[in-house]
Structure formats: C-alpha cells, structure tokens
Amino acid sequence: MLTSRTFLKRTRAGAVRKIVREHYLRDDISCGVAACPLCGEGEEEEEEGRGAGRPFLEAQPGGAASSLCPEPHYLLPDTNLLLHQIDILEDPVIRNVIILQTVLQEVRGRSAPVYKRIKDVITNKEKHFYSFTNEHHKDTYIEQEQGENPNDRNDRAIRVAVKWYNEHLRKLQTEEKIQVILLTNDRKNKERAVEEGITAYTCEEYIKSLIANPELVDRLASLNDEGNEIETGRIIFAEHLPLSKLQQGIKSNLYLQGTFRANRDNYLEATVWVHGDGEEREIIIHGLRNLNRAVHEDIVAVELLRKDAWVAPSAVVLLDDENPNEDDVEQEEEKENSLKSSASNRMLRPTGRVVGIIKRNWRPFCGMLAKSQIKEARRHLFTPADRRIPRVRIETRQASTLEGQRIIVAIDGWPRNSRYPNGHFVKNLGAAGDKETETEVLLLEHDVPHQPFSQAVLSFLPQMPWSITEEDVKCREDLRHLCVCSVDPPGCTDIDDALHCRELESGNLEVGVHIADVSHFIRPGNALDQESSKRGTTVYLCEKRIDMVPELLSSNLCSLRSDVDRLAFSCIWEMTPNAEILKTRFTKSIINSKASLTYAEAQMKIDSTNMSDDITTSLRGLNRLAKVLKKRRIDNGALTLSSPEVRFHMDSETHDPIDLQTKELKETNSMVEEFMLLANISVAQKIYEEFSEHALLRKHPAPPPSNYDILVKAAKSKGLEIKTDSAKALADSLDSAELPSFPYLNTLLRILATRCMMQAVYFCSGMDTDFHHYGLASPIYTHFTSPIRRYADIIVHRLLAVAIGADCTYPDLTDKHKLAELCNNLNYRHKMAQYAQRASVAFHTQLFFKNKGVVNEEAYILFVRKNAIVVLIPKYGLEGTVFFDEKDKPRPALLYNDEIPSLTVEGTTFYTFDKVKVNIMLDASNVQHQKIRMALVEPKISGSNVPGQATQVSSKNAPVKKKKKLGK
C-alpha cells in the first residue's frame, strides 16, 4: 500500500518549499511475538533458521512479577522514558519490551549515546526487546492532523500502536490474557492513554510495583529539572538562560561559547576554552556561583565580567573532600575569598561567569558512596573518582551494602537550590582496592573500550592454520634472505618493527625498516576495521594490555617474531657511511626475522668484543648510523626532553609490585628510535607528495611563550638562562644549563620543559596549513611504524600502498572531512590511553607502598604553590603535593612569591629544584581516596608537627610506564 508524506522545508534563501515523499505501508510486518499464529513469520523463520539472529518477544512473557499488573504483559516505553530511564531498561530484570520505530527515530535525533545503548539492548537475545516498525504498518501509521504539533502526533502514534497490540493479542488463543502496558512519565500522554482504555503507568509506579526487585528503585533517574523543581530553601545558583537567548547572545558577542574544564586541584575554579577565529581563548571562572552548575567538559555560554573583577589563576590547592554531608554555602564563600589575593595586572586573566548550558556532557561516573551520618537515611553523597566531577546526591536503600564498593552513578539534574547535582545508582563494580575492580574503574573513567571482541569482529580474522599463499609471493618482494632482527622491551609479544643493515658493493649501506603489514588482514569498512578505528590505540597498563586488534593478529600473525615468515611493509634506504640518504623505496614484502632481541641483548651484542656474526654486524652498522642521524637532528633543533619512567617488578604469585625502579635507557633504545623517526618522516613525505589534500599526518605545535614562564623562572632562580625563541634556542639552552654541584638539575629542567609542551596531534593535510613538528624539528611527520597498536598507522599504510600501486583506494580514504573526523577520535583515544596508563601506575605505586611500609627518600621541588610544594622523588619517579595548611591544625605563616617563585613557611624558604627529604607512606584512612602521604623530614620547620604535613600523589602527573619504544 502506497501513501505519501508531505512536509514543508525552508531553503537557505528563506523560501518555503513543499516536499512530498512516497511512504510505503505494509500488512506483513510481524508483531514480534515468538511463533505468533496470526503473523506466521516468527514460526516459519525459526524453522528455516532465518530468525536465529533476530530477537523475538517471548510467547508467554516472563520477567519480574508486578503487584500493579500480575498477569503476563509486554512493556512499551515512550520517547522521554527511554531517553531518561535507559539504565532501568538495560537491567536484566526488564525483559519483553516493544520499542516503536517512532520512539527510535526520536531518540536517534536527540541522543546518539542513548540510541546506541538501546540498539545494543535490542540485539541482546536474552532481553527479548523487539523493534516494531509502526510507521510502515498499515494499521499503526497515522497522519499528522491539522494544528497538531510533531510531539503530539508522535504521542498519538504510540497510543495507536499500544491499542493495535492489545487488539492483536486478544485474538491469540492463550490461556492467560496478555496485554501491552504503556510506560510514560508524560502526565498528559498518560491521562489520554487512560481515557482511551490503555493501561499506562509512570516508570516509578511500575518499578516500585516489582515485588522481588526493590533494589531497582535505586536506578530510577530523578527528573526534578529546573522547570518542575519545588524551590524550597535558599536559591544558590542563578537560573540558566534558555538556548534561544544563549544563541542570540553568542551571535551578538554578548556571550562566548566554549568547553568547561574543571580544575583538578581547586574545585572552586575552572577555565572555559573558547574556540573561534582560528585561535583558542581561556576564560577563568572563579567561585561556586559563577561556576553555576557546569560540569567538566560541558559546552557552556559565559559572560565576561568587568575588568575590575578579573582574577589571576589561583596557586592554592583546594580539594572538596571535607565534611561530605555538608551543604554549607557560607563556608564555600569563605574559601572563595581566601583564594582572592592581590595580583599584578600582568597576572590577571579574562574572568567570566556561566550563564547557561548549551550541551551537557554527562556520562556514568565511577566512584564511592559517602554514607549519610543520619540513621535510616536514603539520601547519600557519591564521591566520583575523578576530582573534576562534583559530588552527586543519590537515593538508595542499599547504602550499607554499597559502602566500601566502587559504584557507577549517573547525574539526572542539578536544581538551583542544591549545592550538588542529583543522580541515581547504576551499577556496583566491586570492592574498592581490589585489583580487578580498580582496573575496571580506570578503564571506564578514561573511556577505554575494553569489552571482548564481538563474534562479528572475530569473523573477519583469517582461518587457522594460516600461511603465506602463492598469490602473496607473486605480488611482494621476497626479503627472507636478509638478516632482519627486531629489538623490543622484554616480554613484548606485539612486535611491529624489525630492522636490517648490510653493506653494498658500492661501499654504501642498505638499511631497511620492516613494519608488520596489518592492513593486509584488516580490510576497509568491515567490522574488524570499524572496531579498530573506534579503539584507536592499544592501551598498556601495568599488568594488562587492552589490544586494538584481536590477539590472533597482535601477538601472532602480525607480530614479526623470529624464525617465521611474515608479511611486512618495508621502507628501504641506500645511505652513505655518513647517513646521507641517496635513495628511498617502499615495498610490500615477505620477511623472516633472524632474532627477536631485547634492548639489553642487542646492546650486549654491540658491546661484545668477541661477537661478529651477521646479526651483530647489522646491529653495529645500525647503531653507528643512528648516532649520526641523532646528532644531525639535534643540530637542527630537535629537543631532548625527559620524563620519569618507571618499571614495576611483580611477584610471580600475587602479581603485586615488589620493586619500583626508574627505567634505564640504553643506546639501542635510541638506535631503534632514530630509524623509526626516519621511516615516519620518509613515509610522510611520500604520502603528502601523492595525496596533498588527504594525507594523515602528525604535528606538534610550538607552545605559546607564556607556557615557558615556569621553566624560565625556575632556571633563573638557579642563576641560569633559558631561551625559548625557537626549538633550537631551547635545545641549546637546555644543553648548557648545568651546575657541577647539582648534576640532576639538567634532568629536572628537561622534565619541566616537557610540561611546557603542547600535545602532538593527528590531522588531515587538506584541513591544515601548519605541518611542523616542533619537538622533532621536522617540517613533516606521520606515524607508520606501529600498526599493531595504532590505527593511524593502518590508514598511513593504506595511503602508502595506493601511492606505490600495491593496493586500491576507497571513498573514505580520499574524503578529507571523514579523515579529519577520524583524526579527532584518534587524538581523543590517545589522550585517554595516556591518562589510563598514568592512573594504572599511580594505583600500582599505592600497592607497592602498602606492602613496603614507611620509607624516607630524597626529593626535589618541581613547583611551588601558595600553600604547598610539588615534589619529585627520582628513585621512584614519583610525584606528590606537600600541603602546609591542613584542616584542624594551626595554619603556619605562609609567604608566597610568584616572581621567583618561592614559598616561605615559618621562616624557611622553599625554591623550585630545592632538595628536600620526605617520609613516604600509604594512607588508607580515607576509603574514598587512598593516597600516598608524605611528611617533610628535612628541612625541619619550627613549630610545625612534621607527621601532619601530608601529600597526595597527583594522578595527572604520575609517571608513565611505557612499554612502547620511544619516539615512535
């Protein structure tokens, strides 16, 4: 049956056009009830095996028993209920649910994350959710009536579908009457449904009626939004302006739009990054009322304050972890006033206040419950693991059970009269401190996709046993005769690169970098490719690796292990003995690695006086050339920076860390790094030459001059000058910044210089003009050498393969907008992977000190704050913040000097890079956040209680444990 749909559309010129589209209606759409005799399709499909992958409603709906509706029933939610109560619908207790096409289409337009979640639930056969295409069923399709708005039309379509289902089910000859219940929180929709004889309940009514599942009430989203809230008590926050006013204000430059970034070290301060006109502006938001209920990563509208109200960024560390059940706004105002201090006009920054929220970026948050002190209380505060997120007030009857557990909570809303947002309990992850639980928390908190690979993804892996075919041999260069070897960290199983070096008859040298040909196994657009693209990178935790590609590829077929034939993509140079490149060529190849060495084993071969086999000769040639390449790079202005990296030694039985050491780098680390850098640069030049508009490249922007202030001041305090006019000037300054009496100073300066740098990012060449890599002093750069663990490298392999005629192109590869979108995801995934790795190191550091007990160690001051010093302990690569003003203790006399910078505590002055001695221990007294605490041992501060000077390890600056090779 054919009908038509008519709607009006306004063109860019402002004219209104009438559009008529054909709309097909059918009478053979199944109701979705398994083996329904009236539809017939379900039974036939199951017999033929065609319905095996399609979810059906159970013929006799089971599930939770309801006191409101004791007879068997199916549930049918409307759009708003699905949007706000998705956590309820995902619960295993809720089964046999009909999701209408009308509802799905509305959800898709309003919330992509919820749409994805409900689609995943529909595909879960155990849940028995059924998607019914009511908009194409001849008995359930309805036209929009004159004067009826789209929302009312959709509500009516939902009620029509419920009535059709109930009439359809009455015709079934079943022992018990089965009905469809409409779930809606819309008061008007519910009233009309009841008038039309439909059984309808609110979500809360239905969930509270479930006899055996009272715990499900905790997962109900509280819907007291601003418009409906009963304003009892004091109004704390200003009302958010409506979106229409915000858009007008942004257009007229009255307001600015930007991303809200909460301050991890000071909960009463945040910054808003305003994007526009090709540059970023930073606006400070200072004080609880000016923050106005914005949450980290929200898109907000801000109004700039008058210049006389501008403030300088606060140097005070202020954590919201006192009195977890207090709602004392006066106390917050006192803290705000304490942050304000006289600052020179040069230090003042544009300051504003949040006037409205353009887009919320709420997600489920991991953390712990701070149980209320009031007996039998149902309202409690939840403390998120991420300090940038405010505490959330939730209602739960399970407080005693959830105490001491890591849980997930979702935010539902933030009324104007509440110090904290309201939310609801989602899931219990397990006991705090448990290794598995804490790993799950850090993966969830950093949005690391870590679910097992689906069958759809695994179905695109090669069948085992796998071997290289005749076809592969025909279209590849056979390099199995070459003395190729790999050099990696100990225990590495995902070996993506191997090298060779041999002398040619001409006296020149042939050097090859051979990279695993992952793109041969992962073809564009299939489920395996899509999953790898979504993950973006392999994530290395202290005891675990979250692979980007399935293990069959990462640790077997793509891993360039020794003594097996492997497919590779090779970059081969002819060089003079002085490392001048004469020729460069790229080829798909077959290799057979002659040795899989660790950095230490390779170093031993190079240093040995009685070894002269082919592998050793090759390694020595590579090492000699690498030294020349490195010197040339540094002469051109490449930076040599420093970051404290640590390695844990694990107990073989308990898997707890038993030793913690800073990682020692060998010559062979640098050797591999130089050739990886050279390969990446050579490939970048080639793909840009061929695809000037859609090459995937990597750049490292030069930091703004203000980034170097802390480094310049710190060096000046030691009588040294650091020039930052260019990368070359900075590199030369760092090389000459040495004091014979303080050998570790140069390392500290390089660590500080690393903190001044911008993040390196992927970009599409057709969407940018600045290609320069500041840190490497290279005009162009990309990533080619690690396709097992980086998706960017797979795209670069595909581009290079097309450039040399080894593979064919596909539409997305030459679409610069798609490529730019992919780069955004890859940059996000890489950033999150780094944070997850740091969090893993921080957690294992806590485990190490838990077992080790109390120790005294030497430390150096990295930063000076108004009320604290940040110290680095070289032995453990460990960083922490020593506080000098603590709650319930007399406040010492503190004098902060920003110009030098220095902090004087009771007459003792601390400068950046000063050496101190600290006492380290694990403090488990606060179950919410266990932390490493330190007491200042030397120098002693008069009149101060030394054990009370505590510190907490900063997870954001915790050292990174890298299993990857440097510079790749």
Q: Which position has the higher pLDDT, 582 or 911?
A: 582
State which of 19-23, 701-705, 824-828, 868-872 shows the largest mean pLDDT: 824-828
- Asked if pLDDT for residue 934 goes beyond 80, the answer is no
pLDDT of residue 330: 57
C-alpha 197: how far from chain center: 48
pLDDT value of residue 782:
96
Query: Cβ(297)–Cβ(357) under 8 Å?
Result: no
Q: Residue 233 — very low, low, confident or very high, per pLDDT cuts 50/70/90?
A: low
Model pLDDT, residue 712? 87
Give the pLDDT band (50/70/90) at residue 45: very low
With a cut of 80, say whether residue 665 has pLDDT above it: no
Residues 271 and 364 sit within 8 Å (Cβ to Cβ):
no
Residue 723 has pLDDT above 70, yes or no: yes
Q: What is the CA radius of gyration of the chain?
A: 32
Res 685: pLDDT? 96
Most confident segment among 29-38, 381-390, 778-787: 778-787
Question: Residue 10's pLDDT is what?
Answer: 67
- Would you state the structure tokens that stand for residue 195, as one six-digit string? 């008038």
Q: What are phi and psi of 373, to 5 degrees?
A: -75, -20
Three-state DSSP at 274 gives: strand
How many Cβ atoms from other residues are within 10 Å of residue 227's Cβ? 5
∠ CA 173-176-177 to the nearest 5 degrees? 80
Cα–chain center distance at 563? 38
More confident of the two residues 718 and 194: 194
Question: Could you tell me what percent of the chain has a pLDDT over 90?
Answer: 40
Q: Which amino acid is at 635?
A: D
The predicted pLDDT at position 44 comes to: 40
Residue 759 has pLDDT above 60, yes or no: yes
List the one residue out of 290, 272, 289 whose CA is nearest residue 281.
Answer: 272
Q: Tell me what pLDDT residue 838 has.
A: 86
Q: Give, in degrees to the nearest 5, the angle at Cα 224 between 222 and 228.
A: 155
Q: Check whether 960 has a pLDDT greater than 50.
A: no
Q: How far is CA 631 from the centre of its chain?
A: 36
Q: What is the pTM of this model?
A: 0.80
Q: Which residue has the higher pLDDT, 30 or 642?
A: 30
450-461 burial: b if 16+ Cβ within 10 Å, else e: beebeeebeebb
Nearest to 694 by CA among 818, 797, 520: 818
Output the pLDDT for position 317.
64
* pLDDT in the model for residue 718: 82
Q: Higher pLDDT residue, 875 or 479?
A: 479
How far apart CA 658 and CA 845 sit, in angstroms, is 10
Sole residue written with tokens 């009302």? 239
376: left (phi over 0), alpha (psi -120 to 50) or beta: left
Q: Residue 710: beta bridge partners? A: none
What is the predicted pLDDT for the residue at 813? 92
Eight-class DSSP state of 597: E
pLDDT for the residue numbered 876: 78
Q: Three-class SS of residue 568?
A: strand
Using alpha carbons, select from 393, 402, 476 the residue that is nearest to residue 801. Answer: 476
Per-residue model confidence (pLDDT) at position 40: 66
pLDDT beyond 50 at 961: no
Q: How far is residue 266 from each of residues 102, 317, 356, measured CA to CA in Å?
A: 45, 5, 22
**At residue 521, does pLDDT exceed 80?**
yes
Q: Which residue has the higher pLDDT, 873 or 564?
A: 564
* pLDDT interval class at 784 (50, 70, 90): very high
Q: What is the pLDDT of residue 966?
A: 34
- For every residue of 351-368, DSSP letters joined together read EEEEEEEEE-----EEEE
Matching residue, tokens 């040639």? 621
Average model confidence (pLDDT) across the chain: 84
pLDDT at 313: 78
> pLDDT grade, residue 143 (50/70/90)?
confident
- Phi then psi dihedrals of residue 229, to 5 deg: -70, 145
Q: Which of 15-24, 449-458, 612-621 has the lowest mean pLDDT?
A: 15-24
Q: State pLDDT tens for residues 82-108.
A: 998 998 999 889 999 999 999 999 998
Pairing of strands 761-764, 696-699: antiparallel
Q: How far apart are CA 879 and CA 857, in angstroms?
A: 12
Tokens of residue 24, six digits: 């097909």
Three-state SS annotation for 61-125 = CCCCCECCCCCCEEEEECHHHHHHCHHHHHCCCCCCEEEEHHHHHHHHHHCHHHHHHHHHHHHCH
Bigger pLDDT: 205 vs 853: 205
From residue 207, alpha-carbon distances to 218, 410, 426, 427 in Å are 10, 18, 15, 17
Mean pLDDT of 360-371: 88
Find the mean pLDDT for residues 468-472: 90
CA 698 – CA 683 distance, rounded (Å): 12
| DSSP class per residue in 622-689 | HHHHHHHHHHHHHHTT--------EEEEEPTTT--EEEEEEPPP-HHHHHHHHHHHHHHHHHHHHHHH
Alpha carbons 535 and 449: distance in angstroms, whole number: 6
pLDDT at 732: 86
What pLDDT is recorded for position 125? Answer: 85
pLDDT tens digits, residue range 815-870?
999 999 999 999 999 999 999 988 888 888 888 887 777 788 888 888 888 888 88
225 has a pLDDT exceeding 60: no
pLDDT at 956 over 50: no
**For the chain, how far is it from start to end, CA to CA, in angstroms?**
60
Higher pLDDT, 851 or 512: 512
If phi > 0 it is left, if psi is from -120 to 50 it is alpha, else beta; for residue 563 that is: left
* Residue in this structure with the two tokens 């060529």, named with its chain if needed: 585
**Strands 509-516 and 868-873, bridge-based pairing:** unpaired
% residues pLDDT > 70 (the chain): 85
Alpha-carbon span 695 to 813, nearest angstrom: 9
pLDDT, position 299: 92
- Report the distance separating Cα 765 and Cα 772, nearest Å: 11
8-36 b/e with 16+ CB inside 10 Å = b?
eeeeeeeeeeeeeeeeeeeeebbbbbbbb
Q: According to the model, what pLDDT value does residue 638 have?
A: 86
pLDDT at residue 324 greater than cutoff 60: no
pLDDT band at 221 (very low <50, low <70, confident <90, very high): confident
Average pLDDT over residues 277-294: 84
pLDDT, one tens digit per residue, over 294-317 is 999 999 999 999 988 888 877 666
What is the SS3 string spanning 90-101? HCCCCCCEEEEH
Which one has a higher pLDDT value, 35 or 630? 630
